[in-house]
Structure 1
Amino acid sequence: MGVQHVYIIGAKGIGNYGGYETFLQKLVEYHQNNSNIKYHIACKANGKGYMDEKKLPGAITVDDKHFTYYNADCFKVEVPEQLGSAQAIYYDLAAFKECIRQCQQENIKNPIIYILACRIGPFMGKYVRQVHKMGGKVFVNPDGHEWKRAKWSKPVRWYWKTSEAGMVKRADLLVCDSINIEKYIQDEYAKYQPATTYIAYGSDIYPSKLADNDETFVKWLTDKQLKPFEYYLVVGRFVPENNFETMIREFMKSDSKKDFAIITTQDDVFLNELDQKLGFKNDKRIKFVGTVYNSELLKKIRENSYGYFHGHSVGGTNPSLLEALGSTKLNLLLDVGFNKEVGQEAALYWSKEDGDLAKLINEADNMGQAEIEELGKKAKQRIKDAYSWQFIADRYEEVFNLK
């Protein structure tokens, strides 16, 4: 059989600070020596979160619109920035058109167009027909309940929900990254009889390359006034559905002598609102420590935390949770379906009920070392069994009919 061309759209780039971006980096990396597959990846040329391949080790710039990364041909799509929140819709559509144009120009038969997230449902029909004409297929990765996110207004939520329905109806296959999402798609859209499959998101369990006395790590700790194993940690976007408010409020209520380090994007408006509600700036233990884009340093910070909090309440399999299980021994997760699906017996769980997490923090502070080590072992085993990147890359080969 010839080479299978796979076009991927919907991520801002490769290896940026986001789930899809990390997924693309790993997929291409793990398939770099696979001669049966050729990736073509759309990246954002400008605006927020644009792709700068100079920051991606191994990427080679071809010209200002193209670069290569292992065996992937990456092309950049310009987005009019005045579009505001409609940028994402424009970007996916422009990328979809460009994929079709490339297939027609290069006379590529039977391409697979793989769309990450459900943003262009109302416009899908026309383009799907064009792909089918070339003998190709359209796959969709439905992101976890985008329409539930608190940041969207009612009309925008309505659009996301309608868009999701349109994508589910027209996709040849929906690749769901969590069993909960797959079940939701099957139940919610039963009338379309959607073809679905489950492929998780991946992670690894290699320790950080940085030594305990590495200058970068030691300087970071000193700057942030933190000590190894004397801080709890959370890493994530500063959005309401990640429940920072609950975690901070409950930590303030706890008797913990440890610090709470929060690695997140800076959002001063949200921070000030939160401080007015909680007054956390008066609690010396609560430390907003900015962002960390150096992945080895971030891993080292996770490994040296006493415990990790995870408060995500929407979405599928969450990348930051997998990374935490791969690196941190003690993980305290919000008790919702897809966090439990991932963590199983390898983590402790809390609810948003008043006092519940504070009580768990006090218990965690008093846990014996043997108990913590046992949880750490289980967490790593969980990643090995179900979420290793090699396992995920192999599953994608099956779905692309290459195995």
Structure 2
Amino acid sequence: MKIAIVGTRGIPNYYGGFEQFAEYLSLGLTERGHQITVYNSHVHPFQENEWRGVEIIHCYDPEDKIGTAGQFIYDLNCIRDLRKRKFDIVLQLGYTSSSVWGWLLPKDTVVTTNMDGLEWKRTKYSSRVQKFLMWAEGLGVKYSDHLISDSIGIQDYLTEKYGRPSTFIPYGAHAFESPQQGVLNEYNLEPYNYDLLIARLEPENSIEVILDGVARADIGRKFLVIGKNETAYGEYLKEKYKSRTTILFLGGIYNIEKLDSIRYFSNLYFHGHTVGGTNPSLLEAMASESLICANRNPFNQYILGEDALYFSTPKDVSDVLSKIQKHDELFQRMVRNNIAKIKDTYAWEKIIDQYESHFNTVFNKINR
């Protein structure tokens, strides 16, 4: 099959999230003999026209010059290019800035869209932007031939709100098997003597709730905050907790091997995401043998079940930090169970299998 992947900044992955997903999926499908094309921003660090057998098409992307509005122009340019070529299937990753152009998608190509999370619920957006995102979500549903949900919660939501079925295919992760203790020296850390969170520093990721709990516990153990912090909210957080010398804002760390080792040797890993489906960073934490304390919500609970600790308030965070040690047998069982889930349910090979099966199904329908 000839398949195009749109909706990301491009591959190879320099950004995380959907870019990482596009990298793994495009490589996996290429290895199985399919012709895969990925659309890249023209400012992507990789400037060649092919990467490990995947065709790369660069389209003009002015986001670096004009901000968010540039995403809409980039998506329009990708769709305009799509119309010049013949693909069997177009896979859209997300809908936020592309669905307004959905009416321009080629009518003779099957369009299947991964609907991502509930973007309009993100508290970082104004009410006006939230209303736009809800409208864009509806357009994403309207202009897609098929929908993909990466969590059961999103699947239920799409059925209830739009009456549309969707194929459930979660995100993937690799089980981490090569921890490098030497990485800790770079950050002056001792194994199992620090806790951390890794997230975009945004309100809906419970950053302030978690850090209020850290401050309340005041146990003297280092707490790492990993994520780009040169933002208004990041500056606010750094100012609020500047007197807490154990709270360390490390900024973004994008080397996956480093991140995996930092997660592996942590005592507690806090996952505060409240919006969305199968969050990649949660699977990566599970795959890195982290002991996870997650925000109590249906999306996280569906994935983790009884194999995690949960919090809703700063007091919950404080209580967990004050009492929990990763190496207690009860919590080691949670860690082992989560690794088993990665290998049984969320392994990348299985995720690629499911996407290939989905594509085969829709391709066979149009070629009968």
Aligned to 1:280: 241
**How far has the Cα of 1:195 moved from its partner?**
3.5
Count of matched residue positions in the alignment of Structure 1 and Structure 2 = 359
Q: 3-state SS of the aligned residue for 1:293?
A: coil
- Post-superposition Cα deviations, 1:217-272, rounded to whole Å, max 9, x if no partner, equal 144132xxx21110001111111111110110001111433211111102253234
Tell me the SS of whatever aligns to 1:400.
Answer: helix
SS in 1 for 2:68: helix
1:152 counterpart residue number: 125
Q: Deviation per CA, 1:22-46, whole angstroms, max 9, x where unpaired? A: 11111123233212x1111011112
Specify which of 77, 86, 107 is matched with residue 94 of structure 1.
77
1:267 equivalent in structure 2: 230
Q: Which whole-Å CA distance do the structure 2 matches of 1:306 and 1:146 have between them?
A: 31
Matches of 1:354 and 1:396, distance apart in 2? 40
Match of residue 306 from structure 2: 345
- TM alignment of 1:94-243, pairs within 5 A: 94-103=77-86, 111-119=88-96, 120-127=98-105, 131-132=106-107, 134=108, 136-190=109-163, 194-208=164-178, 211-212=180-181, 214=182, 217-222=183-188, 226-243=189-206
Cα pair 1:326 1:380 within 8 Å, conserved: yes
Take 1:113 and 1:344, find their aligned partners in 2: how far apart are those partners? 34
* 3-state secondary structure, aligned to 2:30: coil
Q: In the TM superposition, what is the alpha-carbon distance from 1:70 to its structure 2 partner?
A: 2.4
Distance 2:344 2:141 in 1: 29
The one-letter code sitting in structure 1 at the alignment partner of 2:215 is M
The answer for the alignment partner of 1:7 in structure 2 is 4
TM-fit CA distance, 1:199? 0.4
CA distance in structure 2 between the aligned counterparts of 1:252 and 1:173, rounded to whole angstroms: 47
Counterpart for residue 32 of structure 2: 34
> 1:396 aligned to 2:355?
yes
Distance verdict in 2 for CA 1:115–1:268, change over 3 Å: closer
What SS does the corresponding residue of 1:94 show, helix, strand or coil?
helix
| SS class of match (1:281) | coil
Q: Kindly state the Cα deviation for residue 16 of structure 1 after the two structures are TM-superposed.
A: 2.1
Residue segments in structure 2 that go unaligned for 5+ positions in a row: none
TM-score scaled by length of structure 2: 0.92
Distance 1:162 1:268, change over 3 A: closer
1:179 deviates by 0.8
Give the AA of the match of 1:156: V
Could you tell me the percent identity over the aligned residues? 30
Aligned-partner residue type, residue 120 of structure 2: W
> Alpha-carbon deviation of 1:282?
1.2
Equivalents in 2 of 1:252, 1:290: separation in Å? 19
Q: 1:350-389, aligned counterparts within 5 Å? A: 350-351=311-312, 353-365=313-325, 369-389=328-348
Distance 1:246 1:297 in 2: 26
For residue 401 of structure 1, give the secondary structure of its aligned residue in structure 2: helix
Letter in 2 for 1:121: S
Report the Cα offset of residue 211 of structure 1.
Answer: 3.6
Residues 322-373 of structure 1: CA distance to partner in whole angstroms, max 9, x if unpaired?
Answer: 000111341100001111111112211111x3512211222214x6622232
Would the aligned equivalents of 1:28 and 1:71 in 2 still touch at CA under 8 Å? no
Counterpart amino acid of residue 122 in structure 1: V
Q: C-alpha displacement at 1:299, in angstroms?
A: 0.8
The TM-score with structure 1 as length reference comes to 0.84
The Cα shift of 1:9 comes to 0.6
**CA shift in 2, pair 1:272/1:221, >3 Å:** closer
**Whole-angstrom CA distance in 1 between matches of 2:177 and 2:259:** 11
**CA separation in 2, counterparts of 1:24 and 1:368?**
36
Measure the CA separation in 2 of the matches of 1:268 and 1:8.
30
Instruction: Tell me the CA shift for residue 99 of structure 1.
Output: 1.5
Q: Residues 12-63 of structure 1, C-alpha deviation per residue, up to 9 Å, x if partnerless?
A: 112122210111111123233212x1111011112xxxx212xxxxxxxxxx
SS at match of 2:275: coil
Q: Which runs of 4+ in 1 moved over 6 A?
A: none
Matched, 1:68 2:45: no
